[in-house]
Structure 1
Amino acid sequence: MVWHPMRAAAVCGAMLLALICPLWTGPARAETAGREPATVKLSATQQSQIGLQTAVLAAESHPEQFRAYGTVLDVARLTELANSYANAQAQLQTAQAKLDVAKLAFERARDLVQSAAMPRKDAEAAEGTFRTDQAALAAAESQVKTLMATARQEWGAVIGRGIIERSPQVVQLIEREQLLVQVTLPPGVMLAEPPRSALAQAPTRSANIELRYLSPATRTDPRIQGVSYYFVAAGDSGLLPGMNTIAYVPSGKSYEGVFVEDTAIVQWQGRAWVYLRAGPETFKRHPIRTDQPISDDDYVVQDIPPGSEIVMRGAQVLLSEEAKSELRGGGDDD
């Protein structure tokens, strides 16, 4: 579970508010038993006043996902290579055209020399021009081949071929209609097949951003040292070159669990918890594992008892009330 400063402030604020000025009339009780989580008791009126909402969620099959690390790449180098290759191709065509003309002139001069209609020195000059243009063509061909190899080495076979062919995919990347995102898996994580898609998050948007698989990456992120892939995202997705993002990559496996939104999850003593209804007016904190994220704060949880009624709204207030009751209990012991 990612710990956000604003969420931390909200927790502390809610606890302080509960200690100083309760939001509803009538005291709520938290009954403790040893080290077990307290049972928080709220009347129906109190539940209504804080907007408490609960739901019974059934376990469903969900795709297993790895939390990965994304970086939006600057494609200036890709643009430079595409332009250099286009220029080299133009130079190659020019060199080929000049060589064709020089070859015809040389062959004509050679025939004229043989018929004594042209001095030998003029034929030698034509041959020199022909040989020079041959060398120029060879140099142009070498430049094109070098740029082709460079494109493949730097960007891989798929993007490298796109640079050479000026494919629509590469044009969209150059024109920023699409963004190139390098997604790196955690160290030691391997996939049997490349993922066809992934999800990412941008600071400017609350919804997940769809990523479409493009090709294996030619290098890893040096900070992470995991297997990397290239994905593309829409240019208007909210991502920007140089931006880092959390990505969620499907492993190809699935598992059963209950989808739990972040509003139902509270953090306490270094663990994640949800509140389950224990009775019409009672609620009890239940520990959960958050090792299967769906997004930055939403999870699929496997350790919630079937048929449990989960507090979806108001969990933070219950935690504050529980903390307040524990502090009161500690004060009574003094």
Structure 2
Amino acid sequence: MTWRILVPAGLLVAGLLAAGLLALVATEQGARHLAEIRERLEPARTGPAHRPAPRVAAEEGRAVVRLSAPERARIGVTSEARPAAAHREELQAYGSVLDLARVTDLTNAYASAKAALQTAQARAEVSRSALQRARSLGPYATTVQREAAEGTFQTDQAALAAAESQVRTLSATAQQEWGPVIGRAIVERAPAITRLIERTDFLVQVTLPPGEGLKGPPAAAFAEVPPQSARVALAYVSPATRTDPRIQGLSFFYTVPGDSGFLPGMSMLAFLAADRSVTGLSVPEEAVVHWQGAAWIYRAVGPDTFARHRLRADPPISADSYVVEDLPGGTEIVLSGAQALLSEEMKGQNPASGAVDDD
């Protein structure tokens, strides 16, 4: 006798589904799929009262971003309370690396003129001695001998005067074109000129914006090396003898190492130490984000809460950092990860949030 076990259809389907789910869980792909399903169902299961608070909200007319310490660590956000202090302001100027072909030509021309002068001096000395001997012979020297000696001496004296004039002209030209410091170095063929000719150093002309001035020579100066904007120190030489016609401001000569990444003809941003100081919070350039044509930083406005703060159009600069004058000392500033905070803010905002863009 054959026994048949009758199983309800519903139980049979449920069993098959359970077996399928067990087989799915047994694979890594299946486990991930179930985790995704569980994550999707979680908000519906827990209800609105149990959902986490949004990361971006509008508070006091501004957008704020809330991130816990683990979340900040995950996206690389670090912050620090910055004290208010006095900082020596730096003036932004514009520099260009000069072509030194003219310096090389003047140096070589002066060296040749100096050698010609020495030759003329030697010849004039010989002809002077010859004329003196002819005159000392008295009646024993013929008229032709005396006249020849006198003619040679006069010719050599004229050549000596021309050589001296050429040396003086080149010396004056060097000082007129490059100033007394570089001009004297050309005349003396100083080691500084040799370094320029051999391209160990490059000569840079730095020009301040119109209306900016300095009480004394700006000994401390830096240039930004493209494209990474690293700073390199400039060595002060002298005031420039001419301005940059494109800028029409005070100009100065500096030297920059030949291995700094600059080449003749290149332009640069330069920063010169000013005579005045500004008081505020020092904020490095990497802490600044740019959005909608303005520069911003993020500052803490509460526990784990950050808001954007707009910088003025031309903030003071000191030691390669911006000086923020409109925040109190001790304000906690986001030093790294500001771009990640901006991304979080943009993702969390919507037209109905009522948040504004600055505080």
What TM-score results when the alignment is normalised by the length of structure 2? 0.78
| Separation in 2, partners of 1:269, 1:306 | 28
CA gap 1:41/1:328 in 2 versus in 1, 3 angstroms: farther
Residue 33 of structure 1, CA deviation: 5.3
Aligned residue runs from structure 1 range 134-145, under 5 A: 134-145=157-168
The alignment partner of 2:350 has SS state of: helix
* Residue aligning to 2:276: 253
* Residue aligning to 1:5: none
Gaps of 5+ in 2: 1-51, 355-359
| Separation in 2, partners of 1:48, 1:123 | 101
Aligned AA (2:308) = R
| Separation in 1, partners of 2:124, 2:76 | 83
| Separation in 1, partners of 2:173, 2:79 | 58
Residue 328 of structure 1, CA deviation: 5.2
| Separation in 2, partners of 1:220, 1:28 | 57
Aligned AA (1:31) = A
Larger Rg: 2
Aligned AA (1:175) = E
Gaps of 5+ in 1: 1-25
CA contact (8 A) 1:72 1:243 kept: yes
Aligned AA (1:30) = V
Residue 232 of structure 1, CA deviation: 1.5
Which of residues 106, 111, 121 in structure 2 aligns to 1:81?
106
CA contact (8 A) 2:278 2:323 kept: no
The alignment partner of 1:327 has SS state of: coil
* Residue aligning to 1:60: 85
* Residue aligning to 1:110: 135
What TM-score results when the alignment is normalised by the length of structure 1? 0.84
CA contact (8 A) 1:52 1:314 kept: yes
Identical aligned residues as a percent:
52
| Separation in 1, partners of 2:280, 2:68 | 31
The alignment partner of 2:341 has SS state of: helix
* Residue aligning to 1:293: 317
Aligned residue runs from structure 1 range 7-22, under 5 A: none
Aligned AA (1:307) = G
The alignment partner of 1:153 has SS state of: helix
The alignment partner of 1:276 has SS state of: strand
| Separation in 1, partners of 2:308, 2:79 | 14
Paired residues, number? 302
Q: Indicate yes or no: 2:261 matched with 1:235.
A: no
Residue 209 of structure 1, CA deviation: 0.7
CA contact (8 A) 1:274 1:285 kept: yes
The alignment partner of 1:306 has SS state of: coil
Which of residues 49, 60, 63 in structure 2 aligns to 1:38?
63
Residue 237 of structure 1, CA deviation: 2.1
* Residue aligning to 2:184: 161
CA contact (8 A) 1:197 1:249 kept: yes
| Separation in 2, partners of 1:37, 1:77 | 59
Q: Kindly report the root-mean-square deviation, in angstroms, between the aligned alpha carbons of the 2 structures.
A: 2.1
* Residue aligning to 1:182: 205
* Residue aligning to 2:156: 133
CA gap 1:173/1:33 in 2 versus in 1, 3 angstroms: same
The alignment partner of 1:192 has SS state of: coil
Residue 227 of structure 1, CA deviation: 0.4
